[in-house]
Each structure stands twice: as C-alpha cells, then as structure tokens.
Amino acid sequence: MTRKLLLDTNMLIGAFEPEPGNAAHAKAKEKLKHLSGDTEVKLAITPLIRYEVLRGVRRISPDKMEEVLNGFQEFEVRGAEARRAAELYRLAKNKGMDLSKRSFDLFHCVCAEANGLEILAQDGDIPKIQQLIQDSKNSNAQTY
C-alpha cells in the first residue's frame, strides 16, 4: 500500500538548505533522501508549501528548486479547506490555543486531512493542530 506524505516547509527547507551543525536539518535531509528512494511513498506539497519553500531557500536557484518541487504531487487548497481551516482557527482561539493567523500550518494540516495524507514535519505546531482536528471530529461525532 502506498503512503502519501505531505512534506511541510520546514522539512523541505531543512533538507535542501541544511545549516552546518543543525541536527534537525541533517535529519530532514536524510529522511527526504530515504523517502525519495522508496517506491511505496508518494511525496506531496500544496501551492502554499511551494511558496514558502521558494521564499525560504537561498542557496538553490528558484529554477532548480522549482524543478525539485515539480516532482511532488501537488494538492490544491480549495474553498472547503479554507472554511475548515477558519473553523478550526476559531475553535483553537476558543480553547486558548496560540495559533498564528499568519502561519499556513493550519492549511497544511487541513489539506492533509481532506486528501488522506500523512504529514511529515519538523514543526511543533503540527501535532497540536492535528490534535485540534481530532478533537473537532470527536466533538462533532458526539453531537450527532
């Protein structure tokens, strides 16, 4: 069975722009190298992840980075995902969670949820957002 993985921006920037001595970047580079060779894994991004990576890499030309990103399956963030992200953002605020409205992590997680993707990230907010998504499903299931 093929695993579909949405790669978060931090993972990609760490893999392609590793800083000497940065253990997280070294781990990202090794993980991406391993996954790229696995025929049972499909790697994915969203247009927002593409934007963040192209904005964040500095030592690789935009054209070269674009070539790499074009090798990944790209999932769109549509109106339904935008609405779900907005609802989750409001829920997070009601629960006292500190989510940045300027961060795209919520969109990434909602896109992964909508498309049945696992998320591979090195971002501390991702597990909190995934738990928020799970909590919202559990509370919706209890109200019906």
pLDDT tens profile 103-112: 789 999 999 9
113, two tokens: 């949820």
Residue range 64-89, pLDDT digits in tens: 999 999 999 999 889 999 999 999 99
**Strand order across the 73-74 sheet:** 73-74, 41-45, 3-7, 118-120
Residue range 132-143, pLDDT digits in tens: 999 888 876 544
Model pTM score: 0.86
Domains and CATH numbers, the chain: 3-143 (3.40.50.1010)
17, two tokens: 């722009």
- What is the predicted pLDDT for the residue at 110? 94
